[in-house]
Amino acid sequence: MIFGFIKKLIKYYIDKFISWVRIKKFNLELDNDIKKYHQQLDKKEKKVKIIETGEFGEDDWSISIEHVDKDA
């Protein structure tokens, strides 16, 4: 009787450990997929090149003319 209880207890904790490992593996895979997605977005992001800047007004406001590089 006591051996059956110990056997069930061991099986229960082994099942809990296996499910924990599966969850950790899933989280790592999800993190890697998110990282790859962000890297792809960074590659697609267009680069902005500032052509000209200037200041005007009393409060030193500034304006910049920017050009989006479509090749990058």
Give pLDDT tens digits for 34-67: 999 998 888 777 666 666 666 666 666 666 666 6
Q: Residue 55 forms beta bridges with which residues? A: 62
pLDDT at 72: 47
H-only helix segments in 1-72? 2-44
The b/e string for 4-27 (b: 16+ C-beta within 10 A; e otherwise) is eeeeeeeeeeeeeeeeeeeeeeee
> Does the pTM of the predicted model rise above 0.75?
no
CA distance linking residue 53 with residue 63, whole number of Å: 6
64 neighbors 49 (Cβ within 8 angstroms): no
